């Protein structure tokens, strides 16, 4: 039998089995779909919160306060070193600019600063940090090096807030990993259990195939294809449900989701999510069917 003929036979057998036992396969597809919906929503939530954290942390700045008699040549060297180290955007802020900012932030109360005879604020270097340069350990090291310079009077980079953002991002990634593992295990168990019923219903046919010389691979393939088809169908259904749920949330969420919707919509790479959903569905279906065949057929 040629390869195309074998594949046609395997596909016809798998589809025929699903048509003959629709209830069993509907349960498998439904369970897989629910699991993949959970995975998809967790994936979207994790990506959305990562984008939110990045937006919140977009104003993270590394500020170096300079002494009044700081040598200009050494300040220039420090500026170059900070930019080279972090690839950030640096700006030198004069005392007058800093005082103007403070007055603007205080609103009407800021008018009281106009009566000051001497400006108490120092020159400073403000370095806006890109996301890749917001590692807490690296910034601590950079702050210690800057504070050791004789013309630097202080360093501020929002250490407490940055630590909280870092911890929250790690917690979200861990939660996403746990959700993935739960979906993985649940889906494999469900697919394996449902295919065991299909195998049991076709046990006589399988025995006849073995008696006439069918190879182990020949017996396995229809069941593996059934699992893959179940996973593919479940992945497509789950993707449609996730898409519809998110679009509904964008329209009806209102103020409830206004905080997490940065531009009025969820930040999602739909082609990537679709590929993940379908690939995960097929992989789970194949693994579940392989376990069922290996355990109960002993081939």
Q: Kind of pairing, strands 124-128 and 89-93?
A: antiparallel
Please tell me the predicted confidence (pLDDT) of residue 293.
75
| Distance, CA of 149 to CA of 65 (rounded, Å) | 11
Is pLDDT of 299 > 50?
no
Report H helices in 202-215: 203-211
Class of domain 61-157: alpha beta
When pLDDT is averaged across residues 108-128 and rounded to a whole number, the result is: 78
- Which range, of 51-60, 175-184, 214-223, averages the lowest pLDDT? 51-60
Using the CB atoms, write b or e for 220-247: b if 16+ within 10 Å: bbbbbbbbbbbbbbbbbbbbebbbeebe
Alpha-carbon Rg of the chain, whole angstroms?
31
CB 38 within 8 A of CB 164: no
- The domain limits of the chain are 3-55+164-296, 61-157
Cβ neighbours of residue 270 closer than 8 Å, sequence gap 6 or more? 243
Q: How confident is the model at residue 20 (pLDDT cuts 50, 70, 90)?
A: confident
Using the CB atoms, write b or e for 57-67: b if 16+ within 10 Å: beebbbebbbe
Q: How confident is the model at residue 136 (pLDDT cuts 50, 70, 90)?
A: confident
Please tell me the predicted confidence (pLDDT) of residue 87.
87
| Distance, CA of 45 to CA of 275 (rounded, Å) | 17
When pLDDT is averaged across residues 75-99 and rounded to a whole number, the result is: 89
> Pick the residue with more confidence: 245 or 17?
245
Please tell me the predicted confidence (pLDDT) of residue 77.
92
Please tell me the predicted confidence (pLDDT) of residue 264.
60
Q: In what order do the strands lie in the sheet with 61-66?
A: 89-93, 124-128, 61-66, 152-156
* pLDDT tens digits, one per residue of 38-78: 888 878 877 777 666 666 555 567 899 999 889 999 999 99
Element (H, E) at 139: helix 136-147
Is pLDDT of 19 > 70?
yes
Tokens of 142: 């950079």
Q: Ramachandran region of residue 254, left (φ > 0), alpha (ψ -120 to 50) or beta?
A: left
């Amino acid at each position: 039998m040629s390869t195309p003929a074998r594949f046609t036979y395997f596909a016809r057998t798998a589809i025929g089995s699903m048509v003959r036992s629709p209830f069993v396969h509907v349960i498998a597809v439904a369970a897989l779909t629910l699991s993949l919906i959970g995975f998809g929503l967790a994936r979207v939530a994790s990506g959305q919160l990562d984008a939110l954290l990045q937006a919140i942390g977009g104003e993270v700045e590394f500020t170096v306060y300079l002494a009044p008699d700081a040598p200009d040549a050494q300040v220039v060297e420090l500026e170059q070193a900070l930019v080279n180290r972090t690839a950030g955007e640096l700006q030198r802020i004069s005392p007058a600019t800093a005082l103007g900012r403070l007055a603007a932030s205080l609103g009407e109360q800021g008018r009281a600063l106009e009566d000051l005879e001497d400006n108490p604020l120092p020159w400073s270097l403000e370095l806006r940090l890109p996301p890749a340069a917001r590692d807490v350990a690296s910034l601590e090291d950079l702050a210690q090096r800057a504070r050791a310079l004789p013309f630097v009077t202080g360093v501020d980079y929002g250490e407490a807030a940055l630590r909280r953002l870092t911890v929250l991002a790690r917690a979200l990634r861990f939660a996403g990993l746990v959700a993935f593992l739960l979906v993985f295990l649940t889906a494999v168990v469900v697919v394996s259990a449902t295919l065991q019923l299909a195998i049991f219903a076709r046990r006589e046919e399988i025995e006849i195939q073995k008696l006439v010389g069918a190879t182990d691979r020949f017996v396995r393939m229809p069941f593996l294809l059934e699992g893959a088809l179940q996973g593919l169908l479940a992945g497509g259904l789950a993707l449609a449900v996730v898409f519809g749920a998110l679009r509904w949330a964008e329209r009806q969420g209102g103020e409830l989701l206004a905080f997490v919707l940065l531009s009025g919509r969820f930040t999602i790479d739909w082609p990537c999510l679709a590929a993940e959903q379908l690939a995960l569905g097929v992989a789970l279906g194949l693994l579940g069917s392989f376990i069922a065949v290996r355990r109960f057929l002993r081939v």
